[in-house]
Amino acid sequence: MDTRQFIDQLAAGESAAAKETLENLISNKAFEALDEYKKQIASGIFNGQTEETETEEIEVQEAE
């Protein structure tokens, strides 16, 4: 799924499918960010580093 698919669904008036696609896109982005953060933490632990990393906060709003 990609952003283009989401836009196409919106343009076609397929709001239910577009909502699901958007939720999946946001979820995938959040899991990717979490996975990267876990890798950074694990790298710091196993390499003996205590360096703090900068993270990006993602705000997710639930659809009504």
| Position 55 pLDDT exceeds 70 | no
Tell me whether residue 58 is in a domain: no
Tell me whether residue 14 is in a domain: yes
What angle separates helix 15-46 from helix 3-11, to the nearest 10 degrees? 160
Tell me whether residue 23 is in a domain: yes
Tell me whether residue 29 is in a domain: yes
Residue range 4-14: mean pLDDT, rounded: 95
Q: Provide the domain limits for residue 41.
A: 3-46
Tell me whether residue 12 is in a domain: yes
| Position 1 pLDDT exceeds 70 | no
Tell me whether residue 51 is in a domain: no
* pTM > 0.95: yes or no: no
Tokens of 39: 């890798």
What's the 3-state SS for the chain?
CCHHHHHHHHHCCCHHHHHHHHHHHHHHHHHHHHHHHHHHHHHHHHCCCCCCCCCCCCCCCCCC
Percent of the chain scored above 90 by pLDDT? Answer: 56
Query: Domain count of the chain?
Result: 1
Tell me whether residue 59 is in a domain: no
Give the number of other Cβ atoms within 10 Å of residue 45's Cβ. 10
| Position 11 pLDDT exceeds 70 | yes
pLDDT of residue 42: 86
